[in-house]
Amino acid sequence: MRTKTDDRRAAFIKAALSVFREVGYERASMSEISQRAGGSKATLYNYFKSKDELYAETMLEAISTQASEIMLILDPSRTDVSVVLIEFGLSYLKVITSPQVVANKRTAISQGQNSSFGKILYDRGERRAWAKVADYLGRLMAGGVLRPGDPAVAALHFQGLLECGMLEPCLYGAEPLRKIEDAAASAVEALLTIYGPRVQTSTE
């Protein structure tokens, strides 16, 4: 059962999401958010230290269910690694090219010099997510499914391969350069070419 504290936090996030969508990050105020949630600004600050933190948490909350479902795909017990990685890649690309996530990234980039929410959003969102991907790849390396290496670097390579030609055009308001299915499949193929186990030859 959720506690009153959880309910109050959820109410603030719901109110914040509404205000941010209506007036944008810059024009939104903690006073308006607290009033809409039916609480005081002092109480709001007990939950969130700043508007930057509240904005970041609101954006993360909005896609938390999707993010959790994507991470569940990376199940080490599944033996067909290629299928798992393609399934993950498809789901990841659908999320990061969605209008909501693209808008969040644009805001974070545009406000990067003037606020801390971009860093908060990255640290609590993508950085944590790709650390979990690195953990998954590390398990595969330890089990001999993938070639030994630095799993954190492998995860970064995978992210770059997936996003190539997909995310950047969206940030500019253009269409992705490839179909999601093709982008996911080629990213996994390239990753496995780099990190797949060596094929033993008769001369070795």
**pLDDT per residue rounded down to tens, the chain (204 residues):** 456 678 888 899 999 988 988 888 888 899 999 999 998 999 999 999 988 889 888 888 878 888 899 999 999 899 899 999 999 999 999 999 999 889 888 888 877 677 787 888 888 889 999 999 999 999 999 999 999 999 999 999 999 999 999 999 999 999 999 999 999 999 999 999 999 976 444 444
SS3 at position 118:
helix
What pLDDT does residue 2 have? 53
Q: Per this entry, what is the length of the chain?
A: 204
- Provide the pLDDT for residue 178: 95
**What's the predicted TM-score (pTM) here?**
0.83
Is residue 90 within 8 Å of 105, Cβ to Cβ?
no
Would residue 201 count as lying in a domain? no
Q: Is residue 71 located within the same domain as residue 37?
A: no
Residues 136 and 88 in one domain: yes
Number of domains in the chain: 2
Residue 169 counted as domain residue: yes
The boundaries of the domain holding residue 126 are 59-195
What is the pLDDT at residue 112?
Answer: 67
- Residue 25 confidence (pLDDT): 82
